[in-house]
Amino acid sequence: MGEPEAVGNRSKRELRRAVLAVRRTLTADDLQAAARSLARHVLDLPEMAGARTVAGYVSVGSEPGTGPLLEALRSRGVRVLLPVLQKDNDLDWADYEGPEALVEAGRGLLEPSGTRLGPETVAEADVVLLPGLAVDRGGLRLGRGAGCYDRVLARLAAHRVRPFCAVLLYDGEVVDRLEGEEHDRRVATAVTPGGVHRLEVTEG
């Protein structure tokens, strides 16, 4: 997958548009192959070895696919939490009970149909997997702009024991530098179909 040109010279809005435009060029075969590779690399992470609870998400459209990963985790007996978008753009959570238990929600999302467990439930996870559009070498993550996962990261930062967090992307979306703001939360790892990227995070 190609990397958008002149990443450092683009506004967040322009970069979002550029990344989404590249993603729309991916074929069904591209998406399936990427999802399989992504699952393999995530499952091989040393941080996953003892994980009993993983917070993930259901990929939609041309996002890096999470379907094979979610099923592999469930088959291992790992508890998987999935997000439920609330009206204020915060995230509630519910247990993943298989693809047949997912329902269509707003913004084209698929969400678990089970009991809502509360926004703080994400802190029970050993590993949190986040969506994104890009991340830079310093761990600054570019999302879609709604702030949902910024709230999640801020919530996790308030806990003494923090789960391992990784953003799932395509290879060309790990870039040298993004423009950030003081309140932005960073992630230490990105996983792409090509492998694992350990980032140089200098703040919590």
39 inside domain? yes
Average pLDDT, stretch 47-59? 96
165 inside domain? yes
203 inside domain? no
Q: What is the CATH number of the domain that holds 80?
A: 3.40.50.10420
What pTM was computed for the model? Answer: 0.90
Higher pLDDT, 103 or 146: 103
Q: Could you tell me the pLDDT band of residue 5, with boundaries at 50, 70 and 90?
A: very low
Which residues span the domain enclosing 110?
7-198
Task: Express each pLDDT in 150-182 by its tens digit.
Answer: 899 989 988 777 899 999 999 999 999 888 776
Dihedral angle sign, alpha carbons of residues 121, 80, 50, 194: negative
DSSP string, 84-125: EE-TTS-EEEEE---GGGEEE-GGG-EEE-S----GGGGGG-
Task: Express each pLDDT in 75-112 by its tens digit.
Answer: 999 999 999 999 998 999 999 999 999 998 877 889 99
pLDDT > 90? residue 146: no
Task: Express each pLDDT in 15-45 by its tens digit.
Answer: 899 999 999 999 999 999 999 999 999 999 9
Q: Could you tell me the pLDDT band of residue 10, with boundaries at 50, 70 and 90?
A: low
204 inside domain? no
Q: Averaging pLDDT over each range in 4-8, 68-72, 179-183, which range is the top one?
A: 68-72
CA–CA dist 124, 81 (Å, integer): 9
2 inside domain? no
Question: What's the number of domains the chain is made of?
Answer: 1
188 inside domain? yes
Task: Express each pLDDT in 125-140 by its tens digit.
Answer: 999 999 999 999 999 9
| pLDDT at position 203 | 54
Average pLDDT, stretch 190-197? 98
